[in-house]
């Protein structure tokens, strides 16, 4: 399924005029990008256009490889202007880059195409004056945008919060403001980062950039709440989303975050249950938090957990963090692990339980004769002291195996 994302929001006429004026003065192609290197506005060409510039104009943003390259130069942390090298393999000519800042906020990047990587003094002065004017213009727009985002964040957090009265008030206010339709189905997605090195504003910008395309799609109307290391996407739909749709949405969000942020961000996604009304948004949110915890602990999920696919793990993952430790592993299972040939017997046990105790299917899955399987199962019963014909005993062992998955060293830290 194809997921459509919105293009970056175009710049204001005032900002566009400043870009055009600078480009005409320099006789060079000029563009302003947002902090995620997505085009805000651009000048006409001056014979210095390259494949990246042309592709950006056609697609509304540069390709992910180009964005990753530019961000990898550290431009969002630069305190002064400088050049970035071109890349023939990307179709990128060198650029002179000026971080546009005001009152501590990085508002965007001014980029001037300079194939020769040298500028005359009068050119750098003109760029610096224009950059100051652009930053001032963007700051005013930024304040208005931040206010809208803060209001939206407050509304989302009230809609998914534990306070029933606050949820009721938020639903009424959201509908009065036209932010909430009358859709019959709700889905909440949570995105969490491990921001060891990313600047706060860059993390927030990346979260917004990865999610904003899902605020308004053909099948969903959404609201977003952004924090430093967590974002919440609340979507209202006319119908429950299909599994392929949910999977594609999560994959696209992760792809965007991997483009905008470094590896240390280590994003995970949790998707809540699908519920029949806005009244249950808080339930979907709580489930999304559990699913995100699963995504952090289970490498097999590839950073995207879905409540409706967690099965019995959804119960285990609601235990407090301090309780989710090796003490939950049943002693009989620990005894089996420590026994001679324990790895082989554990794999046999896992396969047997996951095939509902079916001897034929288990033997086929393991590629062994049934006689060999019966022998291994007798060994397991002797070592553990449990009866595999007893449903409670089988449940004990199966939950123990599933618990161990959550405790695997490769599962990473808690969410």
Largest CA distance in the chain: 88
pLDDT higher for 371 or 178?
Answer: 371
What radius of gyration do the chain's Cα atoms show? 27
What burial letters (b/e) apply to 372-401, b meaning 16+ CB within 10 Å?
A: ebeebbebbbebbebebeeeebbebbbbbb
pLDDT confidence band for 342 (50 / 70 / 90): confident
Coil, helix or strand for 330?
coil
Res 274: pLDDT: 94
CA distance 232 to 225: 5
Res 9: pLDDT: 53
CA distance 257 to 195: 12
Res 415: pLDDT: 42
Superfamily assignment of 181-318 in CATH? Reverse transcriptase/Diguanylate cyclase domain (3.30.70.270)
Which residues, 6+ apart, have CB-to-CB distance to 89 below 8 Å? none
Q: Where are the beta strands (DSSP E) in 248-359?
A: 268-271, 304-306
CA 408 remoteness from chain centre: 23
Res 197: pLDDT: 60
Q: Is residue 44 within 8 Å of 163, Cβ to Cβ?
A: no
Q: How many helices (H) and strands (E) does the chain have?
A: 14, 10
> Which of 390, 180, 119 has its CA nearest to residue 398?
390
Highest mean pLDDT among 75-79, 95-99, 233-237: 95-99
Asked, colleague to colleague, whether 13-146 and 181-318 share their fold, the answer is: no
pLDDT higher for 145 or 164?
Answer: 164
Q: Is residue 273 within 8 Å of 322, Cβ to Cβ?
A: no
Coil, helix or strand for 220?
strand
pTM of the model: 0.77
CA distance 322 to 254: 29
Q: Kind and range of the H or E element at 187?
A: strand 185-192
For 99-142, the pLDDT digits (tens) are 999 888 899 999 999 999 999 999 999 999 999 999 999 988 88
Structurally, what CATH architecture does the domain formed by 13-146 represent? Answer: 2-Layer Sandwich (3.30)
CA distance 258 to 238: 31
Please give the backbone phi and psi of residue 272, each rounded to the nearest 5 degrees, phi first. -80, 180
Res 82: pLDDT: 97
Would you say residue 7 has pLDDT above 60? no
Q: 322-411 has which fold?
A: Arc Repressor Mutant, subunit A (1.10.10)
Would you say residue 10 has pLDDT above 50? yes
Share of the chain above pLDDT 90, in %: 64
Mean local confidence (pLDDT), 370-395: 93
Which residues, 6+ apart, have CB-to-CB distance to 25 below 8 Å? 126
> Which of 316, 205, 328 has its CA nearest to residue 260?
205
Would you say residue 320 has pLDDT above 50? yes
Would you say residue 64 has pLDDT above 90? yes
| Mean pLDDT, the chain, whole residue set | 89
Q: Tell which phi-psi region holds residue 130, choosing left (phi > 0), alpha (psi between -120 and 50) or beta.
A: alpha
| Residue ranges of domains in the chain | 13-146, 181-318, 322-411
């Amino acid at each position: 399924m194809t997921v459509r994302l919105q293009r970056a929001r175009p710049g204001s006429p005032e900002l566009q005029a400043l870009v055009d004026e600078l480009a005409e003065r320099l006789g060079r192609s000029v563009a302003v990008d947002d902090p995620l290197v997505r085009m805000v506005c651009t000048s006409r060409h001056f014979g210095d256009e390259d494949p990246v510039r042309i592709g950006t104009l056609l697609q509304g943003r540069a390709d992910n490889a180009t964005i990753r390259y530019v961000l990898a130069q550290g431009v969002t942390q630069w305190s002064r202007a400088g050049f970035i090298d071109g890349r023939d393999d990307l179709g990128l000519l060198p650029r002179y880059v000026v971080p546009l800042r005001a009152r501590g906020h990085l508002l965007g990047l001014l980029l001037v195409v300079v194939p020769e990587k040298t500028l005359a003094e009068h050119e750098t002065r003109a760029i610096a004056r224009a950059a100051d004017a652009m930053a001032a213009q963007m700051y005013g727009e930024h304040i208005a945008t931040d206010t809208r985002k803060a209001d939206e964040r407050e509304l989302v957090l009230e809609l998914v919060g534990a306070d029933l009265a606050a949820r009721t008030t938020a639903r009424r206010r959201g509908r009065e403001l036209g932010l909430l339709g009358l859709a019959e189905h709700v889905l909440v997605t949570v995105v969490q980062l491990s921001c060891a090195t990313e600047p706060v504003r860059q993390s927030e910008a990346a979260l917004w950039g990865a999610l904003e395309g899902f605020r308004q799609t053909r099948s969903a109307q959404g609201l977003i709440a952004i924090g430093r290391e967590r974002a919440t996407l609340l979507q209202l739909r006319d119908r429950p989303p299909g599994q392929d749709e949910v999977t594609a949405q999560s994959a696209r969000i992760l792809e965007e975050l991997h483009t905008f942020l470094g590896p240390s961000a280590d994003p995970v996604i949790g998707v809540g249950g699908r519920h029949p009304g806005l009244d249950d948004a808080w339930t979907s949110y709580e489930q999304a938090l559990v699913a995100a915890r699963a995504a952090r602990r289970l490498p097999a999920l590839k950073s995207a957990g879905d409540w409706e696919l967690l099965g019995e793990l959804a119960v285990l993952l609601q235990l407090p963090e301090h309780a989710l430790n090796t003490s939950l592993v049943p002693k009989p299972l620990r005894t089996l692990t420590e026994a001679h040939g324990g790895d082989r017997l554990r794999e046999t046990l896992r396969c047997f339980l996951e095939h509902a105790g079916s001897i034929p299917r288990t033997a086929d899955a393991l590629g062994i004769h049934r006689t060999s399987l019966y022998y291994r199962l007798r060994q397991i019963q002797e070592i553990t002291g449990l009866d595999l014909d007893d449903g409670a005993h089988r449940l004990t062992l199966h939950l123990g195996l599933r618990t161990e998955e959550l405790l695997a060293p490769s599962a990473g830290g808690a969410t």
